Amino acid sequence: MNKFMYEAIVEARKAAIELEVPVGAVVVLDGEIVARSHNLTEINNNPTHHAEMLAINKALENLGRKNLAGCELYVTLEPCAMCIGACALCKIDKVYFGAYDTKSGACGGKCDVLREECYDYKTEIFGGIEETECKKILTDFFEGIRRGRE
């Protein structure tokens, strides 16, 4: 298993325990994790508190920089338009994601924001990393919610 995606999966599991949609993210620079987070939209009552956004903000703070050139992001679910836009604006070199998102994914699952050339920085995207495990976390979470409603 990819060691950085594994760490993102650990974050996703934390989100599930907190009854957040289980998405986790880590930012990596020179082979070291510089920030990590998971979804906190429910707890923080803020729809912008996606795992990617929180990890990006922590990385900027931890590194004391205004961009993340040279960094990579590992996230368990395909980023939405907001999150992939933030990656491009922060100049993240590469984004690796696990499960594709056919409802809101903006890296090919639903649409492809970066192919529209909205941004001058070219973030590279790699999907399907540890996809089976990333999908399972989401499927198990939503099945548990459905069972709870029955």
Q: What is the DSSP letter of 93?
A: S
Angle between helices 81-89 and 51-63 (to 10 degrees): 20
Q: Which residues contact 66 (CB under 8 A, 6 or more apart)?
A: 60
DSSP-H helix ranges across the chain: 3-17, 51-63, 81-89, 131-149
Catalytic: 52? Answer: yes
Of the candidates 61, 77, 67, 83, which has an alpha carbon nearest to the alpha carbon of residue 8?
A: 77
Catalytic hit among 52, 72, 78, 130: 52
Q: Which of the residues are catalytic?
A: 52
